[in-house]
Amino acid sequence: MATYSVFDRETLLDIVVNIVPLVILGFFFVLFFVTSPYPPNELYRILGLLLLVVPFVLLGLLTWVAAHYVG
């Protein structure tokens, strides 16, 4: 019985180049919540989070679109 996967093995190998930075950004996102490198100022905290969240979302979208068209 064959298992169904959204992406085949070749597609997953192609998009792993984007998955690694997503994991790294996710790690820094979690680290940013645990210890904030900035003084307790909400503007710095929001800007720091945006600098992590926006690239994460855009890279995730790019990865999905690339996997859709490659696969």
pTM for the whole thing?
0.74
**pLDDT tens per residue across span 50-68:** 998 999 999 999 988 888 8
**pLDDT tens per residue across span 13-30:** 878 888 889 999 999 888
Residue 8: predicted pLDDT: 78
Residues in the chain: 71
| Nearest residue to 49 (alpha-carbon basis) of 36, 62, 58, 61 | 36
- DSSP per-residue string spanning 1-59: -PPP-SS-HHHHHHHHHHHHHHHHHHHHHHHHHHS-SS-S-HHHHHHHHHHHHHHHHHH
